[in-house]
């Protein structure tokens, strides 16, 4: 979408102007913010990987599993979609130790975000699998494949292309949600921003730069997704030839 590119350029230009205007302060902030950004990226990647795994497991369990497994999947999806990420984060951070499970904050962060976005991802996976034409299932049956074989070799490879745009949106949601981990004392970008703001009170500069950082990471995700989509669509006929 060219508009998005235009927006990014405009925002970057605006902030660049601000930055130039307060060059000294910018140099002071940058190292700390970069540190925080690194932690944010770390959590984002870890969370995204877990989310994809959980989404596939839950979707397939919900669509094809025996009824106890299906029930488990539905419960997982409803609970993690029905409560907010922050509540889940606090629960896993404050309450788990009480049950004897001690995890470091970073693990809690990745676990929570992965489980949370995974629940939303399950619907994306389910929708994509359902959207594969019925004829593909019928051809697989005619060739005497088991349901799992057909799913694995025929249906899912075709479903993956359709999943990529919605997954792109979910990954960006996960990126935004990482800001919440600053509230359980993880030194991510949001935490660093708060910290620096509390000591220097240069609110506008700090938060503007931080917002641009998030936008930049989000743009990387969007571009990566678009490239992935093009590569995955290679060879596949969109619709019927």
Partner 1 sequence: MTKLWDWGYTWEILPVLAKASIVTIEATFLGFLLAATFGLLLAILRMSKSNWVSVPTAGFVEFVRSTPLLIQIFFIFFVFPEFGVNLSAMTAGVLALGLHYGTYCSEVYRSGLANIPRGQWEASTALNLSPYHTFRDIIIPQAIPPVVPALGNYLVALFKETPLLSAIAVLELMQTAKILGSENFRYTEPITLVGVFFLVFSLITAAGIRQVEHWLNRRGGN
Partner 2 sequence: MSVPEARAAGEPIVRFDKVTKRYGSLTVLDELNLDIAAGEKVAIIGPSGSGKTTVLRMLMTLETINDGVIWVDGEPLTHMRKNGGLEPADARHLRRIRGKIGMVFQHFNLFPHMTALKNCMEAPITVLKLPKREAEERAAELLEMVGLADKLHHYPSQLSGGQQQRVAIARACAMRPKIMLFDEVTSALDPELVGEVLNVIRKLGAEHDLTMLMVTHQMGFAKEFADRVCFFYGGKIAEEGRPETLFGSPENERTQQFLSAVLESM
Binding interface with partner 1 (CB under 8 A): 3-4, 6-7, 10-11, 78-79, 81-84, 86-88, 90-91, 94-95, 98-99, 172, 175-180, 182-183, 190, 193-194, 197, 201, 203-204, 207, 210-211, 214-215, 218
Of partner 2, partner 1, none, which one sits near residue 154, judging by CB under 5 to 8 A according to partner kind?
A: partner 2
| Residue placing its CB nearer to partner 2 in the complex, 78 or 138 | 138
Joined together, the tokens standing for residue 200 give 């220097």
- 81, 119 contact by CB (below 8 A): yes
Check residue 231 for interaction with partner 2 (CB under 8 A).
no
Size of the site for partner 2 (CB under 8 A): 21
Of partner 2, partner 1, none, which one sits near residue 142, judging by CB under 5 to 8 A according to partner kind?
A: partner 2
Check residue 18 for interaction with partner 2 (CB under 8 A).
no
| Residue placing its CB nearer to partner 1 in the complex, 16 or 204 | 204
Q: What is the DSSP letter of 235?
A: T
Stretch that binds partner 2, among 36-44, 51-59, 70-78, 229-237 (CB under 8 A): 229-237
* DSSP-derived secondary structure for 36-101: HHHHHHHHHHHHHHHHHHHHHHHHHHHHHS-HHHHHHHHHHHHHHHHS-HHHHHHIIIIIGGGGT-
* DSSP-derived secondary structure for 138-180: HHHHHTT--HHHHIIIIIHHHHHHHHHHHHHHHHHHHHHHGGG
What angle separates helix 23-64 from helix 156-177, to the nearest 10 degrees?
140
Check residue 66 for interaction with partner 2 (CB under 8 A).
no
- 119, 54 contact by CB (below 8 A): yes
Check residue 203 for interaction with partner 2 (CB under 8 A).
no
Q: Which of residues 113-172 bind partner 2 (CB under 8 A)?
A: 133, 135-136, 138-139, 141-146, 149, 153-154, 157-158
Nearest distance from C-beta of residue 67 to partner 2, angstroms: 17
What angle separates helix 203-233 from helix 2-21, to the nearest 10 degrees?
150
Longest CA–CA span in the chain (Å) reads 71
Residues that bind partner 2 (CB under 8 A): 133, 135-136, 138-139, 141-146, 149, 153-154, 157-158, 235-237, 240-241
């Amino acid at each position: 979408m060219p508009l998005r590119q235009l927006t990014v350029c405009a925002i970057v230009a605006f902030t660049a102007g601000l930055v130039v205007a307060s060059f000294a302060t910018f140099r002071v902030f940058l190292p700390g913010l970069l540190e925080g950004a690194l932690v944010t990226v770390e959590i984002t990647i870890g969370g995204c990987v877990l989310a994809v795994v959980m989404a596939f497991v839950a979707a397939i369990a919900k669509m094809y599993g025996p009824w106890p497994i299906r029930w488990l999947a539905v419960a997982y999806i409803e609970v993690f979609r029905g409560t907010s990420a922050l509540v889940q984060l606090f629960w896993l951070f404050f309450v788990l130790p009480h049950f004897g499970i001690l995890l470091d904050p970073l693990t809690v962060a990745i676990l929570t975000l992965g489980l949370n976005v995974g629940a939303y991802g399950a619907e994306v996976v389910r929708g994509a699998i359902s959207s594969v034409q019925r004829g593909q299932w019928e051809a697989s049956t005619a060739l005497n494949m088991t349901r799992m074989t057909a799913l694995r070799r025929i249906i899912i490879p075709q479903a993956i292309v359709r999943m990529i745009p919605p997954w792109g949106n979910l990954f960006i949601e996960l990126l935004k949600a990482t800001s919440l981990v600053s509230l359980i004392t993880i030194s991510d970008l949001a935490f660093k921003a708060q910290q620096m703001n509390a000591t220097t009170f240069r609110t506008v500069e700090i938060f503007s730069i931080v917002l641009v950082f998030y936008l930049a990471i989000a743009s990387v995700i969007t571009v990566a997704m678009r490239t992935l989509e093009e590569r995955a669509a290679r060879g596949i006929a969109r619709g019927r030839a």
